[in-house]
Chain A
Amino acid sequence: MLRFIVRRIAWAFPTLLLVTFLVYVALRLGTNPVNSYLRSNPRASPEKIAEYKELNGLGSNYVFGYFNWLQNFLTFNWPRSIKGSREVFPALKDALANSLRLGVAATVVGVTIGLGIGMFAALHPGGRRDVTVNTAAFIGISIPPYISAVLLQLLFAVYWSRWFGETLFPTSGVYPAGHIGFNPVLMIKHMALPTIVVAIQIIAVYSRYMRSSLLDVLNSDYMRTARSKGISERRILIRHGVRNALIPIVTIAALDVGAIVGGLIITENVFDYPGMGVYFLKAFGDGDFPLMMPWMVLIVASILLFNLIADVTYAWLDPRIRLE
């Protein structure tokens, strides 16, 4: 098992390099970093321009350019944003924190409720509650998140206050404009709507996974054996049913968690929530190469990390695939 992990980590580094190289090429090719810089800083001196090119590895050759950039990146010599020369790291860190908060909250809420509902439905397949759950989940999946976001925003921003005279859930930002300091209540209020939007999708998806996985397990032969042993129904359900049903789900969940940050982009945008998604969209819109590259590296690293976690978790849960 340990060898497996070590080998995967060893493979991760070259993959990371390769993918970031491809990203570098794509961004350099597609977003035209030099032009964007010139657009934002029309009166930049030739020395500044050269410095910009140097720090970002935008020299002549793609390969050398990449290694140039890589060198600067690894030595924490990060170039600043093209707009106003902001430092990248603090902005990225804040964005990450905000997104993580939202992502984790939504995932925890969504997965727990989703798995619960799925289990609930699987226990009486074909029954009325099963059909209701299925249909609801289906509708949940079919509504793209930004539609539910926009609709919820409409509901709460406009109509709630119109009907009830005050805003229950604010629809933008982490805190009300101009607020300084840490206030958990306000933070939760602001996070409520985006969390609900993301959680709806998660609940829909996971309730279907759980239902199908649990049904598969409940119909298998070892459940019959378990019943013939005369164990209590609850033990059968948990130790045999759910335990086995969770295996494929956990694997998918691990991958989903890794992708959560990117998946929030749309929701963040609609609710003006300053997370990783908004960070990227703004940077992309400006063609801000120095802001985009570290963001990409972070995303790729987290994808690879969670791929590894998913594989390890799967092997840990299902002894059948521990091949060493």
Chain B
Amino acid sequence: MSEIELPTLSPRRMALRRFVGHKAAVASCVVLGLLVLVVILSPLTARYGVNESVRKPPNSFLPPQKIAWFGTDDIGRDIYSRLIYGIRVSLIIGLFSAIIAVAVGCVVGAVAGFRGGFFDDVVMRVTDLFLAFPFLVALLVVRQTLGALSWLTPLVGDMSSVRFIIFLLAFFGWMTVARIVRGQVLSLKEREFIEAARAVGASRRYIILRHLVPNSIGPIMVALTFSVVGAIIGEATLAFFGYGPQAGAGTTSLGILVQAAKGAVQSGFWWMVVFPCAALVIISLCINFIGDALRDATDPRLDMGH
């Protein structure tokens, strides 16, 4: 017999294999993992407190040196430590707003895609319009409006709080996720296995939970990664223009750090610009790589042969 038994793999393992084959994505996981570790262990890994001065004056605008690895800012705080705390805040904002966005977006998108009709039309038109608006403008306007609705404040917090930013970014994030999920549901809806499920009398809820959702995990995970990176950049953008979480006592974020950099450019204090920017770019690059590899790994089209 000259037949070969090819080992069969479940779709999940095939996806995992494909993901692992993306070297850039794997490297990104490692880099991100290390970063998260450093950030979680922050009281240990940071060398100074968030608002702590490196030493007695003169201590401002010191270039990178032994007492301050990434140099100091305008009032003598260690940029390295501030970066660690700032990344922590940004990651928290990114993660939580993405989770809310995905949760809401999945529900809305699934219902819109599955039931179609008027609800679907409305959702599509509304999200279309919102997403077509210049991002920053919409962000700012919604920020003001949300802040002005006093009955919302108990839930979302004060306009300058981290909680507010999370909800604000989630408010934008869910729309993209909803569209992705809707698209996925639409394409799955016509597939034979759904028809077969209906033919044996499965209820709508059962179909959604047991068939549609598991088959959408791929796009949902991809949507999650891109929501995270979108939120992190969104926060940074807001802070850049001065509308980010206010640097209350003891908080800073990546965005605030980059905003501070804006003023430092003309004076040539490159360390204030380069390190926060590099951090932002590296984080965003890593998450993008991971998201891209996830998308390739879970793309059903790539299941056809070799």
Contact = CB atoms under 8 A, between A and B. Distances in A.
Given A262-B137, A284-B140, A151 B288 contact: no
Nearest to A146: B240
B284 A144 contact: yes
Interface in B278-306: 280-281, 284-285, 288-289, 292
A262 B139 CA distance: 12
A150 B265 contact: yes
Contacts of A280: 137
B12 to A, nearest CB: 25
Interface string A151-169: 1011001110010000000
Given A29-B148, A153-B265, A158-B268, A144 B237 contact: yes
A259 B134 contact: yes
A154 B265 contact: yes
Given A154-B273, A158-B268, A303-B129, A144 B136 contact: no
B147 A142 contact: no
A270 B149 CA distance: 32
B134 A157 contact: no
Contacts of A147: 258, 277, 280-281
B261 interface: yes
B285 A142 contact: yes
Interface string B106-144: 000000000000000000000011001111110011111
B141 A143 contact: no
Contacts of A32: 148
A217 to B, nearest CB: 15
From B144, B236, B258, residue with most partner A Cβ within 10 Å = B144
From A135, A158, A258, A281, residue with most partner B Cβ within 10 Å = A158
Contacts of B132: 255, 258-259, 303, 307
A199 interface: no
From A138, A147, A255, A265, residue with most partner B Cβ within 10 Å = A147
Interface string A72-92: 000000000000000000000
B134 A265 contact: yes
B266 A158 contact: yes
A65 to B, nearest CB: 16
A135 B293 CA distance: 13
A26 B289 contact: no
Nearest to A25: B145
Nearest to A261: B134
A19 B129 contact: yes
From B149, B258, B281, residue with most partner A Cβ within 10 Å = B281
Contacts of A143: 281, 284-285
Given A30-B147, A299-B133, A138 B265 contact: no
Nearest to A287: B144
A31 interface: yes
A187 interface: no
B262 interface: yes
Nearest to A23: B141
A138 B241 contact: no
A295 to B, nearest CB: 9
A143 B280 CA distance: 8
Contact of A151 (B136, B142, B266, B277): B277
B236 A269 contact: no
B102 to A, nearest CB: 21
14 contacts: A26-B144, A26-B145, A29-B149, A142-B229, A142-B288, A144-B281, A150-B258, A150-B261, A150-B277, A151-B273, A158-B265, A266-B237, A270-B262, A303-B132
Interface of A: 15, 19, 23, 26-27, 29-32, 135, 138-139, 141-144, 146-147, 150-151, 153-154, 157-159, 162, 255, 258-259, 261-263, 265-266, 269-270, 277, 280-281, 284, 299, 303, 307
Q: Shortest 5 CB-CB distances between A and B: which pairs?
A: A262-B134, A30-B144, A30-B145, A142-B285, A142-B284
